[in-house]
Structure 1
């Protein structure tokens, strides 16, 4: 095993164990059950071909630990984090989540799923459902922060620009509405908003540097080729 691969897998193992102990210490047994159950729906690897797919959920949950004092339903947030992709990507039925866990978790996962039973919901319907849910509105922000913060070197520059624009036009307004609808969670939404906006500023600065270097290289190539005759 290459050293870089070993480092990644060691980090995954360490963060997963730390999260499991944290949930046990909080007495979040439902979230622990959701964590183990959801892993079976995420058996692949991320785009680097090394990092387990489920590390996305683990990373989200470890960030949620820093927000827990401001959450209205903390255990349900963790359970929803683990399950949030299982319906849309894994074919898990919302009814099964409701049976195994709780109505609140099932409703939140339902709200976060753009496709249910092969039927795609409109962006307006998805946004309306997320904004109306105190759990889904938090998880959606955490999900976007994790994806946006790890897309450099994975997505094309054009895809990254589209993703940032979607964050500004879709995700940030959800967080703004969350602050109004669930004011007891205002510090949580504000924290996620600041993380997202800092990521956007950094990404745009990196994009500008990449474009400047590409223009410089193109200019050097044109100079080396000489004038057209």
Structure 2
């Protein structure tokens, strides 16, 4: 998904939200949180090159394309922008509580930690499945992670990420689809895209691992 210039992506999303705000002032809150999130996510991603905030913008861009399939798109956009804040920048929680109290619940729910203690995956995904906002944000988050992990994650971690989709993300999407049928179109699309991504990972990564092993096992000429 990292195919659009960062500056262009940011300006395009800002323009879309500005247009939305002309019809509904609640999207001004999304624009405000976008600036705050950019302040915290000021570094680079694990590749050492891509701006860290590209991740949030990419997820937000995908969510905007699903605007009509979401029951509360503004809440989804806010959750996406804040989804890593509390976990990665604990100091941001007080700022969010003061300036964006409506976002704190989503930011905490999207974090794997509760009061500094990591919760079980079962509990985590059950909470996601029972929230029409967090479930959307988390599914698109994993889609972006899967599409950008090549060359950044180890082969083992890429396979583990793919397995998590089968073990947790698809069951979560299925439950959420039943609980929030108004968003059925989104959940069906997310399911299809995740399955496609997992198939590619499970096809190409083992081949890459086999080639790497062969190169290691084969003696160099002259030895």
When normalised by structure 2's length, the TM-score is 0.89
Q: Report what 2:13 is aligned to.
A: 19
Residue from 171, 178, 181 that aligns with 1:180: 178
- Alpha-carbon distance in structure 1 between the residues aligned to 2:92 and 2:129: 22
Deviation at 1:185, TM superposition (A): 0.2
* Structure 2 residue 47 is matched with structure 1 residue 53: no
Aligned length: 217
- Alpha-carbon distance in structure 1 between the residues aligned to 2:4 and 2:154: 28
- Alpha-carbon distance in structure 1 between the residues aligned to 2:100 and 2:184: 26
RMSD of aligned alpha carbons: 2.2
C-alpha contact (below 8 Å) 1:108/1:130 kept by paired residues? no
Greater mean deviation of Cα atoms: 175-184 or 114-123 = 114-123
Deviation at 1:223, TM superposition (A): 8.3
Deviation at 1:51, TM superposition (A): 1.3
**1:182–1:53 CA distance, 2 compared to 1 (3 A):** same
C-alpha contact (below 8 Å) 2:75/2:133 kept by paired residues? yes
* Structure 2 residue 146 is matched with structure 1 residue 138: no
Q: Report what 1:169 is aligned to.
A: 167
Q: Report what 1:91 is aligned to.
A: 90
**1:120–1:219 CA distance, 2 compared to 1 (3 A):** closer
Unpaired runs of 5+ in structure 1? 1-7
Q: Report what 1:67 is aligned to.
A: 66
1:121-160 Cα offsets, whole Å, 9 max, x none, are 2222212211111000100100000011111111110111
- Alpha-carbon distance in structure 1 between the residues aligned to 2:129 and 2:3: 36
Unpaired runs of 5+ in structure 2? 22-26
C-alpha contact (below 8 Å) 1:87/1:116 kept by paired residues? no
C-alpha contact (below 8 Å) 2:85/2:93 kept by paired residues? no
**1:194–1:92 CA distance, 2 compared to 1 (3 A):** farther
Q: Report what 2:153 is aligned to.
A: 155
